[in-house]
Amino acid sequence: MLSIEWLLLYALLGTLVGFMAGLLGVGGGGILVPLLAAIFAHQGFEAEHVIHMSLGTALTCMILTSAASVRAHASRKAVEWHLVARMALGIMVGAFLASQLAAHLAPVYIALFFALFMALVAIQMFINWQPSAPRSRLTATGLVGAGIGIGSVSALAAVGGGFLAITYLNYKNITMKKAMGTSAAIGLPIAIAGAAGYMLSGWADTSGVPYTLGYVYVPAFLVLSVASMLAAPYGVRCSHRLPESSLRKVFALLSLLLSLHMLLSAVQP
């Protein structure tokens, strides 16, 4: 099941995702999850576990990339830590419970949710929609509630919550720069709680599968993480030379097409 060819393919995928993350400031889950699902299917994993393993592995990869992103934003004092602290509990509860729920859902339902969510992200990228700021203030209850929602959606779509968190914080009068930095910090507890949830929920299902921790495939996690972290700086360099608006549209379209492909694969008998 595991060979040098698969490891090289993971390295190539990690390089692509890391480069796109550095280029556009996105997590790359829209690309990573569908491609991981295709790779795992060809590797011979059971069809009923392919999507769950893709989500669990992708979220585990996000732990290292999120940590690196947090460090970069924090060095520029772009993280509102008091907001992160208030949202963290709700985020971790939502991400953990959603990952437990996902283990009991048929793959087609998770694929449908993923495709619909990525369609929403793609539309937002294409039209560059931003919410108008209201007069209401941030409250502790509102932050915890928003955290639960963001964590739940992120665990089911293997994303860092950037799209939802930035939109929410912008809506609450937080500047774009600090919304992006705070969103990056929010991604870390999402990744930790989501990864833990997928590990626990898949422990019995994958107990006989080599190199797995629940729904996390360890070789893919290790190679993807290293490759993406090495490639991200090159994406950052290119981001200053290429037109971001056009690149974001291409990324959104690619993510959407891959998500639809994953959905079609899941509904096939």
pLDDT at 215: 94
Q: Kindly report, residue by residue over 250-269, the tens digit of the pLDDT.
A: 767 777 777 777 777 766 65
Q: What is the mean pLDDT of residues 67-91?
A: 83
- Angle between the N-to-C axes of helices 47-75 and 4-24, in degrees from 0 to 180, rounded to the nearest 10: 40
Percentage of the chain modeled with pLDDT above 90: 17
Q: SS3 for 189-243, per residue? A: HHHHHHHHHHHHHCCCCCCCCCCEECCEEHHHHHHHHHHHHHHHHHHHHHHCCCC
Q: Kindly report, residue by residue over 43-54, the tens digit of the pLDDT.
A: 989 888 898 999
Q: Which of 164, 82, 178 is nearest to 131 (CA)?
A: 164
Q: Kindly report, residue by residue over 144-202, the tens digit of the pLDDT.
A: 898 898 888 888 877 666 667 777 887 777 877 787 778 878 888 888 888 999 999 99
pLDDT at 175: 76
pLDDT at 236: 65
Q: Which of 179, 18, 214 is nearest to 83 (CA)?
A: 179
- Residue 135, pLDDT > 60, answer no
pLDDT at 20: 75
Least confident of 87-101, 128-142, 146-160, 217-231: 128-142
pLDDT at 54: 92
Q: Average per-residue pLDDT in the chain?
A: 81
* Residue 138 CB coordination number (10 Å): 18
pLDDT at 167: 76
Are 187 and 69 in contact by the 8 Å Cβ rule? The answer is yes
- Residue 217, pLDDT > 90, answer yes
Specify the pTM. Answer: 0.79
Confidence of residue 19 (pLDDT cuts 50, 70, 90): confident
* CA separation for the pair 147, 91 (Å, rounded): 4
- Residue 222, pLDDT > 90, answer yes
Q: Kindly report, residue by residue over 64-75, the tens digit of the pLDDT.
A: 877 777 777 777
